[in-house]
Structure 1
């Protein structure tokens, strides 16, 4: 688990985004500390309302860059003036708010909260289907906290989902350390049956499947893709963290899958679904990663072109086997991370640009900045609707929108009619 600090500047909306970031970091097992020099990562949530504010943000970013090993910049200035930080010689990862929590996980599985009961947050129902995982990744510390997989029955989880829908949930987020291995502690793979059971619940809602490691879903990829194709309630969205494009690095990571098996998962969903979103993660700078290994990861990114990508610089976690390895220099890891992030932004921006001019059915999920709502289409593309309050649009509403522009990691949608 990482130690982090977070500083927030600007309006109430920025403070709300920081609270959302902290909530997700807390639920993933990370711990807030008071000083940047004792933190693994510092998060700077920026404002850029006037030139003086902009200068203050750059000054604070430089200070934090000198105090912590890893700086993440997010917020308005990060989105509107991304290049300003590099021009000011600030070594930071510039990320959208939604990308910050995943970028801090070091490739580790999320850590479920101790209470694994469902939670209703607005119109979003959080459904933890199991605790623990079946992996033994050499760099992951969360396995010490979560242990092996412990799967409640399909019937129990479906009933939990039914209660969330009855309580007003419009989106059910199926979560866990590794949803793909749900049921393996009983010698079976229950994920397809679980999704079918949730889809059979009466009501107008959507289901998002949480992170599933490639090896966990490889054995059920055909059945799982069929469930996605058959059930309109399931977002056509799959988060499958590959972590590296090199089999030798994957072996050193003890990731239990190969690059070829990852390709097979992606190909299966390509064959069954007309449109879907692939989300994946890469860890760059693993101790055994050579230049050729890194280029293999870049080549994989170019080939599969995922529409959501989390890029994480490797950092050592105490007590893990990878922490005992001689690592790469910080400068080399930063350069590789920067190169992959640039490629990622180009790929993601292109994907959202392709949506411009299309009309899509979306679900408004939660309030955003400046009277906007964040909505998602059937493939879980994030589409922001502006002036939502003026238009009477609230979280939980389904509506049709025409995509008018892309903002690299999300799009702007105009309601139809």
Structure 2
């Protein structure tokens, strides 16, 4: 499990973004370090209001690069002037706020630890359904913390979900290091049953299923897709981290799937659901990844056209088998990450552009910047409603909206 250090500069909005990043990391079982020297990853949330501030950001980034194992730079300066950090020779990932938590976790599974309990954060209830996984990925350090899957009974998780609904949760996020293998340790795969039972709870709420590795989902893909199709409370959203489009790299990663199994799952969901979101992850620059392997990942990306993508540059974690492999140069990883990130923006932007002019039923999940709110539609795509107070819209509301525009990774809409 990772230890993180966050530094935030600038306005209240930036502080709010850092709070969301930290909440995501804590939900994954990660913990704050005493300082950057003690951290596995440092996160610098930057400001760019004046030139002096920019110089201070560059100087602090240079200091943090020396003080911590890995550095992620986000915030206003990162988004508006990201090349400034690269031109200064700073070895860091420059990312949008939304991409920071997954990058900080290095493409690993989120870690559910013994002190992780159901959490109600505003309208969102966090429901960890199990601890551990069935995988042995060569790059992942979290398995040392969590061990093999340990699944509580279905009824126990249903009662926790019911408690969250009674406490006011409008969105339940089913989480775990690998939700797809829930129940394997008891001799049966129980995820579909659990989701059915949660959706039977009285109340108006939505359920989002957290990350499920393709190796665990493949054997229940048809049953699970049918559960999504028959339960309106379930967001039509599934997070399947493929990590590479090359079977050779997947073997070196010791992933429990190959590309054909991943595609089998996508095909079943395509056939079963008319409107859904595929979320996936890619790790670029794994030590054994060749130019051909990278090209295969890019080709798979173009084929499946996922609506949400997390792209992580490989970095070594101490004690893992991959840490002993001879790594690729930083320039190669940066170039491959840049190419994939550019493709991501094209494909995700295309998906949101197709939404313009459509009407969607949404749940208002949380307040946004200024007088706006963040909503999720039936496929868990993010939709922003501006001038929320004028429309009388607030978190927890269900409403119908018409999509009026988009900004690559989210849409804008007006209440109908």
With structure 1 as the length reference, what TM-score do the two structures score? 0.92
CA offset at residue 159 of structure 1?
Answer: 1.6
User: Which residue number corresponds to residue 100 of structure 1?
Assistant: 100
Q: Is the 8 A contact 2:364 2:397 kept in 1?
A: yes
Q: Secondary structure at the match of 2:328?
A: coil
Task: Compute the displacement of 1:77 (Å).
Answer: 4.2
Assess if the C-alpha contact under 8 Å between 1:13 and 1:368 holds in 2: no
Give the superposition deviation at 1:296.
0.8
Deviations 1:160-194 (A, max 9, x none): 11111111110010010100000101110101111
Shift of 1:96: 2.8
CA deviation digits over 1:345-394, x for unaligned, max 9? 22112211221222211111112221322110000001122222343321
For residues 351 and 84 of structure 1, do their structure 2 counterparts lie closer, same or farther at Cα, with a shift above 3 Å needed?
Answer: farther
Residue 80 of structure 1, CA deviation: 5.3
Query: 1:2-401 maps to which residues of 2 (within 5 A)?
Result: 2-33=2-33, 39-49=39-49, 53=53, 57=57, 60-61=60-61, 70-79=70-79, 92-401=92-401
Do the aligned partners of 1:282 and 1:310 also contact (CA within 8 Å) in 2?
A: yes
More displaced 10-residue stretch of structure 1: 405-414 or 75-84: 75-84
Cα distance in structure 2, aligned partners of 1:387 and 1:78: 27
Instruction: Indicate how the Cα distance of structure 1 residues 339 and 92 shifts in structure 2: closer, same or farther if over 3 A, else same.
Output: farther
Distance 1:4 1:161 in 2: 29
In the superposition, the TM-score normalised over structure 2's length comes to 0.93
Q: 1:116 to 1:88 in 2, by over 3 A?
A: closer
Number of equivalenced pairs: 416
Structure 1 distance, partners of 2:50, 2:382, is 28
What is the deviation of 1:404? 2.1
Structure 1 residues 406 and 55: alpha-carbon distance in aligned structure 2, compared to 1, 3 A threshold: farther
CA deviation after TM superposition for structure 1 residue 331, in Å: 1.9
C-alpha deviations, 1:52-89, integer Å up to 9, x for none? Answer: 65565566556656766654332344445666666777
CA contact (8 A) 1:27 1:113 kept: no
How many Å separate the matches in 2 of 1:66 and 1:357? 49
The answer to whether the 8 Å contact 1:116/1:131 transfers is no
Cα shift at 1:157: 1.1
TM-aligned CA deviation for residue 280 of structure 1: 0.5
More displaced stretch, 90-99 vs 119-128: 90-99
How far residue 26 of structure 1 moved from its aligned partner, in angstroms, is: 3.1
Measured in 1, the distance between the counterparts of 2:241 and 2:235 equals 18
Instruction: Give distance in 1, aligned partners of 2:120 and 2:70.
Output: 33
Aligned partner of residue 312 in structure 1, secondary structure: strand
Q: Per-residue CA shift, 1:276-329, capped at 9, x if unaligned?
A: 111111111111111111111111111111111111111111111111211112
Q: CA separation in 1, counterparts of 2:294 and 2:11?
A: 40
Instruction: List gaps (5 residues or longer) in structure 1.
Output: none
Indicate whether 1:408 and 2:372 are aligned.
no
> Structure 1 residues 345, 39: closer, same or farther in 2, change over 3 A?
farther
The residue matched to 1:219 in structure 2 has which SS?
Answer: helix
